[in-house]
């Protein structure tokens, strides 16, 4: 595809992607929740994570994701949720990494719902650990379906983005 980018060019590129992810994240946070089950959201910033994973690889995706989660908590002024974002994000990243080995660039849309499900699973696991109760897993079926739906949406966004970006220099 494109020659690997490195050095200053790469730092700038990743910083730009982090800024995009953070912006999407902050804008989405302003949308009132439609569903009453806690933890259900579109997760639009995932578009960036998926795209970076399939385009630049696991390490760069981890950098962009970690920076976005940390800065997202800073800008939202709410650190009480960072544990959940980090738990969900880490598990989603692991799964996305595995998916990027199995699936090709034309199939990144399919990787997103899987990572979405595991993101929600990770959040539930953190919640269960923090609350010292397994009662929270009652949300699992809802969060699983929500993770697939939201993941498919962001996955297709990433796919369309990827297909179009291939036509211009990236």
Which one among 16, 31, 138, 165 touches other proteins, defined by CB under 8 A? 138
Cβ–Cβ contacts within 10 Å for residue 94, how many? Answer: 15
Q: Point out which span in 6-14, 21-29, 34-42, 159-167 binds other proteins (CB under 8 A).
A: 34-42
C-beta of residue 105 within 8 angstroms of C-beta of residue 164: no
31 binds other proteins (CB under 8 A): no
Q: Which tokens go with 90?
A: 């880490």
C-beta of residue 4 within 8 angstroms of C-beta of residue 51: no
In the shown chain, the binding pattern of residues 63 to 102 toward other proteins, with x for contact by CB under 8 A and - for none, equals ---------------x-xx--x--------------x--x
Tokens 């697939």 -> residue:
148
38 binds other proteins (CB under 8 A): yes
Q: Point out which span in 8-16, 20-28, 46-54, 138-146 binds other proteins (CB under 8 A).
A: 138-146
42 binds other proteins (CB under 8 A): no
Spatial distance between the Cα atoms of 155 and 148, rounded to a whole number of angstroms: 10
Which one among 5, 20, 144, 161 touches other proteins, defined by CB under 8 A? 144
Spatial distance between the Cα atoms of 131 and 127, rounded to a whole number of angstroms: 6
127 binds other proteins (CB under 8 A): yes
Q: Which tokens go with 43?
A: 């997760």
Spatial distance between the Cα atoms of 24 and 15, rounded to a whole number of angstroms: 14
- Contacting residues toward other proteins, per CB under 8 A: 33, 36-38, 78, 80-81, 84, 99, 102-104, 107, 110, 113-114, 117, 127, 130-133, 135-136, 138-142, 144-145, 148
């Amino acid at each position: 595809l494109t020659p690997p980018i490195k050095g200053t060019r790469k730092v700038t590129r990743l910083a730009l992607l982090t800024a995009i992810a953070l912006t999407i994240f902050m804008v989405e946070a302003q949308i009132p929740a439609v569903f009453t089950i806690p933890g259900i959201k579109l997760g639009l910033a995932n578009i960036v994570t998926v795209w970076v994973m399939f385009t630049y690889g696991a390490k760069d995706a981890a950098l962009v994701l970690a920076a976005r989660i940390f800065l997202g908590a800073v800008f939202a002024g709410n650190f009480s949720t960072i544990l959940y974002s980090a738990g969900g994000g880490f598990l989603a990243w692991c799964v996305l990494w595995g998916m990027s080995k199995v699936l090709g660039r034309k199939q990144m849309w399919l990787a997103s719902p899987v990572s979405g499900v595991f993101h929600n699973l990770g959040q539930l696991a953190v919640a269960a650990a923090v609350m010292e109760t397994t009662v929270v897993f009652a949300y699992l079926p809802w969060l699983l379906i929500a993770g697939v739906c939201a993941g498919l949406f962001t996955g297709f966004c990433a796919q369309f983005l990827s297909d179009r970006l291939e036509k211009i220099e990236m």
